[in-house]
């Protein structure tokens, strides 16, 4: 709770000075909104759907995430300041799915995830289930979920999917392979989704073609994630979702995690907020989430430069009239629901076996 | 009490730890991991050397399942993961008979429960694709030994059955050994060149194993262990697990195999060719030259010699079942171990000796590797070395 006192006066743009200074009832005053944002996030921390940190750390000769690390966008102090409670660490490679070496490269990424977390036991904790996310939070640790990885890592093998799950993989991006490509899911691709449901690997359809998204939504017994998708209606990026797909995602109770990138959402906080408004309105408040995409090479909107900046975004949404229940779903509740649902399916499948 | 009864009662207390069994590869090749098509809960004598009834009959209490993949094809890492998945599926399918084991304590627990401790060993450094991160991934998945090479050299270690290249272990190869020590993964020196054996013994701080190798002094084949290396096992604390493969243990079979290979090449075929025409040539050769047969006594000769050189505390058994086409008489499948033990009893081995051979040495060696790992982990971080950084451009 110490965080609450932190950066109350940080960004006082235009509008500061209107109303009485320090008046707690002046709801539109930016400082007051930020106070509310911090209070809300302390209750409902951020579940961040995508971070490229493992790769970004790979070639740093030395780093200490607990002390703070200026060479990257993410470290423990800034995650605490931004109220990040759980973060998905991407196993994607900057050079794309990786061809022949995709499996080996994914093993190395998983090893990197484990090594980084073991080196920062006071700040980070590797988690596999929704329950462990809560445990980590209760212990004051940021929970780290390994994934998404590229589908190519499977090398077309369900056995490899199971082995990667054993190593902690929790999310798989269904693009870039023969069975999840331009023509949607093949029959083998459908079998992959069923096996993912059985063992608790979530499907990520960000960047997948419409046919794959629709088929995965129809087939998957657990909610589907889009780890990096905003609204196509507002910005024509290929990974952004059309209103049609957003509606379908909403009907299937998946989660569209809106990335904080200039490319996909726009250069300012209000652009990101526009996307969040749109996704909430089309897909529903139960189907919208956040995706920091820090350390993935993306350019971020002004005032959202690193993992400490989430309160600014929440303050903007408060200004737009998002209710606290809506915000609690956006930051935390929706992702928790998806993880819990996947965990439940795993247990149900074990009962049937 | 007959020697058979004595052996049975001994095996109940000290069952066999076998260092190498290629059942996963056989399942991959024969039925593409369709475990229902080769249900090892029932006898599979037609297709396999290994099934649960015969493991029970053979008194097996722990098995290192090999997650071998071919070293002459690309894609070794994905294939190795599939092999690991196969072992995991086997264990999950037969919970009453198999128990996943990661430590010496797990082996003891499995023995107490009357289940077969199931460990994994990777057969060849090609399975890590020159990556210590991948090596750690394999450890995390349960792999507890890695043979440094298979039949071909890899970029950092020389094989016994390939032309010398790096002259033992390269700098990165030594780093692989050190990282295995840090993890608690046993360094397996079967299949490697004698130069590699010596380099690994110079580098390692934990006991090594030979998961399936016999004595070169008894039968001169590169897959076997020279005496100067066996002599170093007491100081190292490791063990040599004798293998049964006839073409490695019986000199007549070694010579016969060389002649058969030469015959194939003389007819213009690769010596491992298995096309119908090649098989015809091979059958004709076999009719003219009957295949020499190894026996239980052949294997016992190796153990007698290895015992003299390395000592009783450094011996074990690694049958290589389902990894070899031919087996000795009396050791034709995994039910045969009691025949070997009866032979040794008759040769004057004591029950205490046999207990070391079958169970105690192998459990001690894995436990010792764990102890070394605990010590190293307190002072050494995971290695991020790359083959490029240590050996220059590959």
Task: Give yes or no: residues B60 and B128 share one domain.
Answer: yes
Q: Residue B393 domain-assigned? A: no
Q: A186: Cβ–Cβ under 8 A, 6 or more apart, which residues?
A: A178, A179, A180
Cα within 13 Å of Cα(B29), Cβ side: 13
* CB-nearest partner of A108 from B75, B85, B131: B131
pLDDT in tens, B91-147: 999 999 999 999 999 999 999 999 999 999 999 999 999 999 999 999 999 999 999
Task: Give yes or no: residues B285 and B339 share one domain.
Answer: no
pLDDT in tens, B170-219: 999 999 999 999 999 999 999 999 999 999 999 999 999 999 999 999 99
Domain ranges of chain A: 46-352
Are B81 and A114 an interchain contact pair (Cβ–Cβ within 8 Å)? no
DSSP bridge partners of B16: B60
Q: What would the two tokens of residue A155 be?
A: 């090398």
B84–chain A Cβ distance below 8 A for any pair:
yes
Q: Could you list the residue range(s) of the whole structural domain that residue B335 is in?
A: 3-247+293-386
Among all residues of chain B, which has the CA nearest to that of A112? B133
State how far the Cα of B303 lies from the Cα of B308, in Å rounded to an integer: 8
Query: What is the pLDDT, as a whole number, of residue B275?
Result: 84
Minimal CA separation from A291 to chain B, in Å: 27
B371 an active-site residue? no
Task: Give yes or no: residues B262 and B371 share one domain.
Answer: no
SS (H, E, C) B73-135: CCCHHHHHHHHHHHHHHHHHHCCCCEEECCCHHHHHHHHHHCCEEEEEEEECHHHHCCCHHHH
Strand segments (E) across chain B: 16-21, 60-66, 98-100, 116-123, 143-147, 186-188, 208-210, 239-242, 315-317
* CB-nearest partner of A107 from B75, B133, B382: B133
Indicate the Cα dihedral angle B282, B283, B285, B287, nearest 10°.
170
Query: What is the pLDDT, as a whole number, of residue A4?
Result: 47
* CB-nearest partner of A108 from B81, B89, B133: B133
Indicate the Cα dihedral angle B28, B30, B31, B34, nearest 10°.
-60
Task: Give yes or no: residues B13 and B107 share one domain.
Answer: yes
Task: Give yes or no: residues B57 and B69 share one domain.
Answer: yes
* CB-nearest partner of B141 from A100, A108, A163: A163
Are A162 and B88 an interchain contact pair (Cβ–Cβ within 8 Å)? yes
Cα within 13 Å of Cα(B13), Cβ side: 11
B302 an active-site residue? no
Q: A211: Cβ–Cβ under 8 A, 6 or more apart, which residues?
A: A183, A184, A185
Query: What is the pLDDT, as a whole number, of residue A23?
Result: 57
How many domains does chain B fold into?
Answer: 2
Among all residues of chain A, which has the CA nearest to that of B74? A100
B191 an active-site residue? yes
Task: Give yes or no: residues B194 and B278 share one domain.
Answer: no
DSSP A242: P
Q: Is residue B161 helix, strand or coil?
A: coil
Each residue's pLDDT expressed in tens, for chain A with a length of 353 residues: 444 444 444 444 444 444 455 555 555 667 899 999 999 999 999 999 999 999 999 989 899 999 999 999 999 999 999 999 999 999 998 777 767 789 999 999 999 999 999 999 999 999 999 999 999 999 999 999 999 999 999 999 999 999 999 999 999 999 999 999 999 999 999 999 999 999 999 999 999 999 999 999 999 999 999 999 999 999 999 999 999 999 999 999 999 999 999 999 999 999 999 999 999 999 999 999 999 999 999 999 999 999 999 999 999 999 999 999 999 999 999 999 999 999 999 999 988 76
Q: Higher confidence at residue B279 or residue A40?
A: A40
State how far the Cα of A229 lies from the Cα of A227, in Å rounded to an integer: 6
Query: What is the pLDDT, as a whole number, of residue A10?
Result: 45
Task: Give yes or no: residues B194 and B46 share one domain.
Answer: yes
Q: Residue B17 domain-assigned? A: yes
Interface list for B 374-393 with A (CB within 8 A): 381-382
Query: What is the pLDDT, as a whole number, of residue A27?
Result: 54
B221 an active-site residue? no
Inform me whether the pLDDT recorded for B314 exceeds 90. Answer: yes
Please confirm whether the linkage preceding A148 is cis (ω < 30° from 0): yes
**Residue finishing a domain among B292, B320, B349:** B292
Interface list for A 151-170 with B (CB within 8 A): 155, 157, 159-160, 162-164, 166-167
| Nearest one of A72, A66, A68, A78 to A295, comparing CA atoms | A72
State how far the Cα of B147 lies from the Cα of A168, in Å rounded to an integer: 26
Residue A286's φ and ψ, nearest 5 degrees, are: -85, 0
Query: What is the pLDDT, as a whole number, of residue B158?
Result: 98
Task: Give yes or no: residues B275 and B302 share one domain.
Answer: no
Query: What is the pLDDT, as a whole number, of residue A100?
Result: 78
Mean pLDDT, chain B, whole residue set: 96
Q: Higher confidence at residue B358 or residue B276?
A: B358
Task: Give yes or no: residues B298 and B282 share one domain.
Answer: no
Inform me whether the pLDDT recorded for B394 exceeds 90. Answer: no
B75–chain A Cβ distance below 8 A for any pair:
yes
Q: What would the two tokens of residue A303 be?
A: 């005032």
Domain A46-352 has CATH 3.40.50.2000: no
Q: Residue B394 domain-assigned? A: no
B231 an active-site residue? no
B271 an active-site residue? no
Task: Give yes or no: residues B174 and B199 share one domain.
Answer: yes
Q: What would the two tokens of residue B49 be?
A: 């050397």
In degrees, to the nearest 5, what angle opens at C-alpha A264 toward C-alphas A86 and A298?
Answer: 65
pLDDT in tens, B232-253: 999 999 999 999 999 999 999 9
The CATH number of whichever domain residue B331 belongs to comes to 3.20.20.140
* CB-nearest partner of A163 from B81, B129, B133: B81
A111–chain B Cβ distance below 8 A for any pair:
yes
Question: CA end-to-end span of chain B, whole Å?
Answer: 61
Among all residues of chain B, which has the CA nearest to that of A164? B81
Task: Give yes or no: residues B202 and B268 share one domain.
Answer: no
From chain A, pick out residues whose CB is under 8 angstroms from the CB of B24.
Answer: none
Q: Residue B392 domain-assigned? A: no
**Does residue B92 contact residue B50 with C-beta atoms inside 8 Å?**
no
Q: Residue B49 domain-assigned? A: yes
B212 an active-site residue? yes
Task: Give yes or no: residues B108 and B56 share one domain.
Answer: yes
B140–chain A Cβ distance below 8 A for any pair:
yes
């Amino acid at each position: 709770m110490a965080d609450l006192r932190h950066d109350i006066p940080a960004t006082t743009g235009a509008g500061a000075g209107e109303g009485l200074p320090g008046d707690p009832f002046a709801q539109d005053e930016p400082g007051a909104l930020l106070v509310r944002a911090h209070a809300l996030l302390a209750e409902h921390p951020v579940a961040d759907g995508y971070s490229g940190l493992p790769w970004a750390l790979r070639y740093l000769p030395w780093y200490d995430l607990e002390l703070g690390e200026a060479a990257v966008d993410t470290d423990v102090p800034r995650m605490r300041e931004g109220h990040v409670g759980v973060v998905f660490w991407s196993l994607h490679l900057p050079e794309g799915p990786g061809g022949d070496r995709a499996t080996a490269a994914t093993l190395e990424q998983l090893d990197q995830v484990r090594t980084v977390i073991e080196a920062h036991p006071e700040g980070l904790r590797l988690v596999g289930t929704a329950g462990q996310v809560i445990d980590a939070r209760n212990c004051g640790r940021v929970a780290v979920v390994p994934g998404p990885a590229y589908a190519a890592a499977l090398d077309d093998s369900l056995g490899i999917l199971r082995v990667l799950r054993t190593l902690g993989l929790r999310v798989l991006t269904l693009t870039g392979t023969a069975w999840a490509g331009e023509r949607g899911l093949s029959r083998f691709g459908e079998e992959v989704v069923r096996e993912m449901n059985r063992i608790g690997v979530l499907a990520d359809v960000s960047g997948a073609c419409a046919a794959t998204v629709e088929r995965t939504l129809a087939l998957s017994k657990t909610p589907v994630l889009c780890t990096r998708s905003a609204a196509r209606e507002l910005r024509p990026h290929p990974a952004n979702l059309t209103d049609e797909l957003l509606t379908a995602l909403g009907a299937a109770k998946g989660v569209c995690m809106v990335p904080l990138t200039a490319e996909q959402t726009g250069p300012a906080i209000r652009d990101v907020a526009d996307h969040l408004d749109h996704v909430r309105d089309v897909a529903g408040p139960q189907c919208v989430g956040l995706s920091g995409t820090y350390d993935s090479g993306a350019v971020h909107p002004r005032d959202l430069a690193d993992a400490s900046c989430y309160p600014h975004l929440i303050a903007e949404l408060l200004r737009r009239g998002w209710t606290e229940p809506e915000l609690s779903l956006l930051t935390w509740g929706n992702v928790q629901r998806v993880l819990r649902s996947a965990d439940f399916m795993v247990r149900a499948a074990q009962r049937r076996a | 009490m007959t020697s058979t009864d004595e052996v049975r009662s001994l095996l109940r207390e000290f069952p066999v730890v076998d260092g190498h069994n290629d059942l996963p590869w056989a399942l991959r090749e024969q039925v593409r991991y369709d475990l229902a098509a080769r249900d090892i809960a029932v006898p599979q004598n037609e297709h396999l050397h290994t099934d649960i009834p015969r493991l029970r009959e053979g008194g097996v209490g722990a098995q290192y399942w090999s997650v071998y993949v071919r070293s002459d094809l690309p894609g070794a890492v994905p294939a190795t993961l599939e092999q690991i998945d196969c072992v995991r599926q086997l264990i999950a399918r037969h919970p009453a008979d198999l128990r996943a084991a990661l430590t010496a304590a797990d082996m003891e627990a499995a023995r107490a429960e009357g289940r077969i401790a199931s460990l994994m060993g990777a057969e060849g450094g090609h399975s890590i694709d020159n990556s210590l991160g991948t090596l750690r991934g394999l450890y995390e998945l349960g792999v507890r030994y890695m043979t440094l090479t298979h039949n071909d050299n890899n970029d950092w270690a020389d094989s016994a059955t390939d032309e010398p290249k790096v002259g033992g272990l390269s700098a990165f190869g030594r780093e692989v050994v050190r990282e295995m020590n840090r993890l608690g993964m046993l360094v397996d020196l079967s299949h490697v060149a004698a130069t590699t054996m010596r380099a690994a013994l110079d580098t390692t701080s934990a006991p090594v194993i030979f998961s399936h190798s016999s004595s070169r002094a008894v039968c001169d084949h590169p897959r076997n262990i020279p005496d100067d290396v066996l002599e170093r096992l007491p100081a190292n604390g490791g063990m040599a697990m004798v293998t049964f493969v006839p073409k490695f243990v019986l000199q007549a079979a070694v010579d016969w195999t060389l002649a058969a290979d030469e015959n194939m090449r003389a007819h213009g075929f690769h010596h491992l060719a298995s096309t119908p025409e090649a098989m015809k040539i091979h059958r004709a050769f076999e009719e003219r030259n009957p295949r020499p047969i190894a026996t239980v006594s052949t294997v016992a000769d190796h153990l007698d010699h290895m015992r003299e050189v390395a000592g009783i505390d450094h011996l074990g058994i690694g049958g290589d079942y389902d990894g070899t086409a031919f087996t000795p008489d009396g050791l034709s499948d995994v039910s045969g171990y009691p025949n070997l033990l009866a032979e040794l009893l008759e040769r004057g081995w004591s029950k205490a000796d046999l207990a070391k051979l079958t169970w105690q040495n192998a459990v001690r060696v894995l436990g010792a590797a764990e102890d070394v790992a605990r010590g190293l982990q307190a002072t050494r971080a995971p290695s991020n070395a790359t083959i490029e950084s240590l050996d220059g451009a590959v």
